[in-house]
Amino acid sequence: MVPDVVIAGGGPVGLAAAIAARMRGFDVLLADRSRPPLDKPCGEGVMPEGVSVLRKLGVKIDDDVGGLPFYGIRFTEAGSSAEAPFPGAVGYGIGLRRPHLHRLLSVRAADVGVVTRWGEPVTGVSSAGVQIAGRNVPCRWIVRADGRESRVRRWAGFRLPANVRRRIGFRQHFQARPWTDFVEVHWHDLGQAVVTPTAPDEVCVSVFTSEPVIPMARLIELFPEISNRLKGAQPTSSVRGSISGSSNMRSVVRDGVALIGDASGSVDALTGEGLSMGFRQALALAEAFAKDDLSHYQVTHRHIGRMPERMARLMLFVGARGWLRHRVLHALAAQSQMFGLMLGAHVGALSPGAIRPRVLAGFVRHLFARSPLEDREFVR
């Protein structure tokens, strides 16, 4: 078989791109040096728009998939918290271990007829095609889905990502009954901890920080609410870490090569949007193949990343300034409607223009009022 599309990289986003292209009628070959199921340190949550794309791709996530749904986001620090559910129209997110998600996508890829070459690395790219394990494979399009440090991107002559801002993310699972059906984001001067329910008796704790020398156990101790919840809980996985950060690619298409997922730029993992962005890019790329116009993908890719990039900058700006973080948390708790509207915009259910002036004015009023947390600090 001479494929129409060769995909370098068989992670969840690469598999999603393969499925989407195959569902459009293209012959697809996917190659990866590793063998499934593939794992990667991450928060293991798929936001609602990502769950929606998985359904469109025919990935069965409504049955017993071994994960757990979550229905909103909660911010918390030092006993203060604010939360908002996802808008009803977007449904729910799902937390599940990465190898399990990879298995679901692999099964679907096989069902639709994607040809896979596991354990065979892509060793080169040229005008004649793709070299897989040293053998040339001619094709019409090449998709680079081989991660943040892609060699294929370099071989194809793309410029390095701009505006790179990097932190370290650590992840570990614990045997503990989830205490909420929301994803929790805990804040601290040194970083954030995200708790995602992944099973009826398991949670995933991810910590994002610029202090990579602090052990995971010490990092969790920075967040007393999590530490108290996990007292006596046994780890069900080892600590794994990876780079987390935001980067931007000026162009994601070049001479029949398209970049997708982390290879095409990324947002800080704190947003929770990495997988969802990649899945949406997969649909957009398949549509561009059908139109025989990769410039269509370039435009749509930029649109997909715009809101997550803005939200990442906002969250990191606020998170790095304790006084501002305390005020924002207090204002969101007092004006929960504002948090709901912001979350709706974040997941693509609402436009920023949906935030009514009255709601915005109430949020601003609470923002400039002294927060209870500041009052406690003043007393001390």
In this structure, what is the dihedral angle of CA atoms 102, 103, 108, 112, given to the nearest 10 degrees?
A: 90
User: What pLDDT band is residue 161 in, cutting at 50, 70 and 90?
Assistant: low
pLDDT value at 109 more than 90: yes
Mean pLDDT, rounded, for 14-36: 96
Of the candidates 206, 292, 290, 199, the residue with the CA atom closest to the CA atom of residue 244? 206
The pLDDT value given to residue 84: 94
Task: Give the amino acid at 360.
Answer: L
Q: Which domains does the chain have, with CATH numbers?
A: 5-66+98-162+249-313 (3.50.50.60), 321-379 (no CATH)
User: What pLDDT band is residue 379 in, cutting at 50, 70 and 90?
Assistant: very low
Q: What confidence tens digit (pLDDT) does each residue in 306-348 have?
A: 999 999 999 999 999 999 999 999 999 988 889 988 898 888 8
Angle at 26 between CA 24 and CA 29, to 5 degrees: 125
User: What pLDDT band is residue 90 in, cutting at 50, 70 and 90?
Assistant: confident
Q: Which residues of 202-231 are buried (b: 16+ CB within 10 A; e: fewer)?
A: bbbbbbbbeeeebebeebbebbebbeebbe
> What residues are paired with 73 via a beta bridge?
84, 183
Of the candidates 73, 94, 63, the residue with the CA atom closest to the CA atom of residue 192? 73
pLDDT value at 355 more than 80: no
Grouping H, G, I as helix, E, B as strand and the rest as coil, residue 14 is: helix
pLDDT value at 163 more than 90: no
Mean pLDDT, rounded, for 89-117: 94
Q: Minimum mean pLDDT among 40-44, 77-81, 258-262: which range?
A: 40-44
The residue among 250 and 177 whose pLDDT is bigger is 177
pTM of the model: 0.92
Integer CA distances (angstroms), 233 to 23, 174, 220, 264, in order: 44, 6, 13, 38
Which residue matches tokens 């704190």?
A: 270
The residue among 375 and 99 whose pLDDT is bigger is 99
The pLDDT value given to residue 380: 46
pLDDT value at 259 more than 80: yes
The pLDDT value given to residue 196: 96
The residue among 234 and 247 whose pLDDT is bigger is 234
The pLDDT value given to residue 366: 84
The pLDDT value given to residue 378: 42
